[in-house]
Structure 1
């Protein structure tokens, strides 16, 4: 009986220890984070993605993949349901890509947002909102791989054509022609050197004499310029030719002013007196022509005119004669 009692006690202790360990495991592994459900739908393959795969937002673990199945809303697409921490700031411009971890090939969902919208994505666990699942760089490379391979094949064919036997011969001929042209250029350079030595060397030797002549001519020009400067200095110096000419011009101006202010008015008065004398002489000559006897008897008294004392009317018999005499 005692052995059974010990066995039962030992069994109970083991069971209690196991229950305690399970409780500790549950306690330490419990997750109180509030998560929101979102869905992804894609027509591309999701190879390597498994349920419970990690969901990261810009490299930070924020959730897990909860379901992978076919999309009931879009025939042929794959639906991926994920649970994400409610603190993640998802907006209407957020998107997801399928990424892979190092060399293991395990896939995970990477969330990102380019900031195109600031409107928050409202979660709804009954009808989860959907995020676009864009192709990863590896998927884009796989899609373009065939086109890249075709282009590489085309480049290879063109390279083979370019490096064919015929073109290689042409390249060899071109290199030979280039070598001949280089040799010809060397010969031409040597000839030019000889020409320069035979033709230009005498001219270069004659350059010192020409330079000496140029220096002599420059010295003569400098001497003439110095003489001209000396002459100009003498002309411009005090009491020089220019000062004398200016003094003479000033004296001439003063003489002209004196003539205009003193002599010319006198000449004008003399001319006026002469003109009056000439007029008087003319009247005297006219009077002598009209009455020559006045030189002997004088002009006589002047007859009284009408209204003057001593005026008397001429007789009637004399009027016709006077009128006839007055007519021309």
Structure 2
């Protein structure tokens, strides 16, 4: 009986010692970091993301995922609560994406910053800040893959339309026309052969024409030089133009003298001739006027001795 009581006490002591060791280990391994909570809101799918998943900032482990739930206020929106170290530089321009570890497919939250708003984003349990989640590389590949598939489908439809019987006939007709055009193009060199054979003679004539034009150009240059020489002599001082100007001045002076000296004498001579003619006419009509003098003129109306002639 005493042996049994000793064994029981030894068992209880062992269990107590083991429990104490576990509690001490948990005490030393407890998390003493004050984590800062943030919330990620997204309508994108989050495949492979589970609680306790890693949170990394540009590849460095800075926290973990605490909880994943649906937003009760927005239909279809997912809320991911994360806890990060207080020294993590999370700003207003920080965004989150999903990353995947190797080929296992285990997802983690990747934080990054584009630097557009370098202002620290503060968060607490009472006022939890939200971080934007952007499409991951797989999401972008999926979206672009769907776009490529739609474009491929459209191309396949167009190819099917192109291969319809009516279009096939049109394509065959086009190839036939191209073949005919190629045959006609092949006959062009034969048609051009006479023209090509005549080209040397035409080239020789063109060279002769160019030689003639060069000779004419030289003659024209000499003629131009002669004309320039003549023009220089004419326009030079004491040249032909100056002599013509002097002659014109002399003629102008003679004309002025003729106008002022000769013309008055001519006018006087003309008056004398008129008077002489008048005197000769009076003598021929009344020769007796030489002895008796000129006949007195009959008085006119209003003068003394004027009488009105009688009418029968």
| Interval of TM-score (by shorter of Structure 1 and Structure 2) | 0.5 to 0.7
Secondary structure class of the residue paired with 1:40: strand
Q: Does 1:38 align with 2:38?
A: yes
The residue that corresponds to 2:90 in the other structure is 89
Provide structure 2 residue ranges, at least 5 long, that are not aligned to the other structure.
Answer: 1-13, 295-302
Indicate the residue corresponding to 1:201 in structure 2.
Answer: 197
Paired position in structure 2 for 1:130: 130
Change (3 A) 1:23 1:82: closer
- The 1:213/1:180 distance shift into structure 2, 3 A limit, reads closer
Residues 23 and 137 of structure 1: CA distance in aligned 2, closer, same or farther (over 3 Å): closer
Alignment of 1:35-184 (within 5 A): 35-42=35-42, 44-73=44-73, 78-87=78-87, 88-91=89-92, 94-114=94-114, 121-139=121-139, 141-142=141-142, 152=152, 177=176, 181=180, 184=183
Residue 325 (1) aligns with residue 302 (2): no
| TM-score, scaled to structure 2 | 0.58
Query: Which secondary structure does the structure 1 equivalent of 2:248 belong to?
Result: helix
TM-score under structure 1 length normalisation: 0.56
Give the greater-gyration-radius structure (CA): 1
Correspondence for 1:267: 262
More off after superposition, 279-288 vs 37-46 = 279-288
How big is the alpha-carbon RMSD for the aligned residues of Structure 1 and Structure 2? 5.5
Q: What is the number of equivalent residue pairs in this alignment? A: 279
> 2 CA distance for matches of 1:212 and 1:132?
83
Between the aligned partners of 1:230 and 1:127, the Cα distance in structure 2 is 102
Change (3 A) 1:151 1:222: closer
Distance 1:255 1:219 in 2: 49
Tell me, in whole angstroms, the C-alpha distance in 1 between the residues paired with 2:72 and 2:217.
109
Uncovered stretches (5+) of structure 1, i.e. residues with no partner: 1-10, 300-322
